[in-house]
């Protein structure tokens, strides 16, 4: 298709361009329309596909024929115009037909919202401070406790033993408001870990110190934002009976424990020193990562741009879709989440608005750096990423390459590689104090 495109004017992020196509392309589109119509139109005396073109033209009508031909041409004309003018639309275009007649070139006016122009500020040599956390003895104690918990034994508490925070109680319970049992407030042989905060605030705390085999009254108040309107903010009495309880018994921290848990330590002192080194390394890595995040944030703040609202809306759509996937993994639907939290999609989007805008700005700035520095994704970069995917899915590298080449996702990988290189450039040039 012979297409010519030129930008007429740009005001902010709104761009107008003129696109023309040859008269011969219009005739070709008309032929395509007639060929399709011949298979569908039924005219007495003619077999499907055998209706003469002139008769079909009369049947369809001049204006309808031209409109259907234009519909055939619009997408390829628009794609070619984008390629010629090197613009980046972020919304559907508004099309205004300037000229559409047989024997004449097709002339269209397209108005479209495009990516904003980004004026980069300083992106090399930005200064940030690295805030380093120094692990304490309590942090080391916590690490050792996690190790103990991994090999802890579960024991049944003898009858009459007072329960402690962390114990798991097997209970019967029934809840009452204003002396009347309420729906959903009863359970039998329910397993509840004290301190898990899975019940109403204050419920689990009142079971600490209660002995197995005892009955106890638990008084609580439902939160104001409780998912049931009938119970929200109301005082309630739960009658609870403790059948039994279990406790995680932690092993003693001695040299034998250390040898069982680590191959590189023999004594408790050696373990504590090794954990100190590891925690310091993690703290250093965390501090460096945080400093690099601050450097990127500074670079984004140094840039100037006017982000179109449609780009933020699109990012919110993407974020909501990702959030829905996370909920499904946890066995929840988006609708159920909004019911439980007494919120709406609109409220969720409003709460995420700033985050979405910052994400869009970051992408735009990184794209501008890629362009300014002429950053490229070479074959070695692509091969490395493909290799990682091949190994994770245990598939041959060539098969993975072919798959992504067929579905057109190689450009997606090239884009990601360039963006990562732009981040590396910022990090390499940042002054971290």
What pLDDT, in 10s, does the model give residues 160-205? 999 999 999 999 999 999 999 999 899 999 999 999 999 999 999 9
- pLDDT digit string (tens) for 254-285? 999 999 999 999 999 999 999 999 999 999 99
Radius of gyration of the chain (CA): 34
Orientation of helix 309-329 relative to helix 334-341, angle to 10°: 90
Position 125 scores a pLDDT of 95
Position 353 scores a pLDDT of 96
Position 47 scores a pLDDT of 60
- Give, in order, the Cα–Cα distances in Å from 235 to each of 176, 220, 231: 9, 6, 8
Mean pLDDT by 10 residues, the chain (433 residues): 92 94 93 82 63 74 91 93 91 94 94 95 95 95 95 93 95 95 93 93 95 95 87 94 95 95 94 97 95 96 96 96 93 89 92 96 97 92 86 86 76 90 96 89
Q: Which residue has the tokens 């899915």?
A: 393
- Smallest Cα–Cα separation from 313: which of 56, 113, 138, 33? 113
Q: In CATH terms, is domain 153-249 a member of 1.10.357.10?
A: no
- Smallest Cα–Cα separation from 240: which of 172, 168, 188? 172
CATH architecture group of domain 279-432: Orthogonal Bundle (1.10)
Which is the CATH superfamily of the domain at 3-113? Trigger factor ribosome-binding domain (3.30.70.1050)
Report the helix count and the strand count for the chain, using DSSP H and E. 13, 11
Domain ranges, ordered by start, for the chain: 3-113, 153-249, 279-432
Position 81 scores a pLDDT of 93
């Amino acid at each position: 298709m012979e297409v010519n495109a030129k930008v007429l004017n740009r005001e902010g992020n709104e761009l107008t361009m003129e696109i023309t196509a040859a008269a011969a392309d219009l005739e070709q589109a008309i032929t395509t329309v007639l060929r399709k119509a011949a298979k569908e139109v039924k005219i007495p005396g003619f077999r499907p596909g055998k209706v003469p073109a002139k008769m079909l033209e009369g049947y369809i009508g001049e204006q309808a024929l031209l409109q259907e031909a234009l519909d055939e041409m619009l997408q390829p004309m628009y794609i070619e115009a984008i390629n010629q003018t090197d613009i980046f639309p972020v919304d559907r275009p508004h099309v205004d037909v300037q000229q559409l007649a047989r024997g004449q070139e097709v002339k269209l006016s397209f108005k479209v919202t495009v990516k904003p122009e980004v004026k980069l500020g300083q992106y090399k040599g930005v200064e940030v401070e690295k805030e380093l956390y120094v692990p304490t003895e309590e942090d080391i104690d916590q690490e050792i406790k996690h190790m103990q918990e991994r090999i802890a034994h579960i024991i049944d508490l003898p009858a009459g033993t007072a329960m402690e925070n962390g114990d798991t109680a097997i209970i019967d319970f029934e809840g009452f408001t204003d002396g009347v049992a309420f729906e959903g407030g009863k359970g039998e042989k329910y397993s509840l870990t004290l301190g898990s905060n899975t019940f109403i605030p204050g419920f689990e705390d009142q079971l600490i110190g209660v002995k197995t085999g005892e009955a106890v009254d638990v008084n609580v108040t439902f939160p104001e934002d409780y998912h049931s309107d009938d119970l929200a903010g109301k005082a309630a009495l739960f009658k609870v009976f403790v059948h039994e309880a279990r406790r995680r018994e932690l092993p003693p921290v001695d040299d034998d424990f250390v040898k069982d848990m680590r191959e590189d330590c023999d004594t408790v002192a050696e373990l504590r020193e090794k954990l100190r080194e590891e925690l310091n390394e993690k703290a250093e890595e965390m501090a460096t990562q945080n400093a690099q995040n601050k450097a990127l944030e500074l670079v984004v703040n140094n840039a100037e741009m006017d982000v179109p609202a449609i780009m933020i809306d699109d990012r919110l759509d993407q974020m909501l879709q990702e959030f829905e996937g996370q909920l499904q993994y946890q066995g929840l639907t988006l609708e159920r989440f909004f019911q439980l939290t007494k919120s709406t999609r609109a409220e969720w989007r409003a709460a995420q608005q700033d985050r979405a805008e910052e994400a869009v700005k970051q992408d735009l700035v990184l794209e501008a750096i890629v362009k300014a520095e002429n950053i490229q994704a070479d074959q070695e970069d692509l091969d490395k990423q493909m290799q990682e995917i091949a190994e994770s899915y245990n598939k041959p590298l060539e098969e993975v390459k072919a798959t992504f080449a067929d579905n057109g996702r190689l450009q997606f990988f090239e884009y990601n590689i360039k963006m990562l290189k732009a981040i590396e450039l910022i990090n390499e040039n940042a002054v971290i104090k």
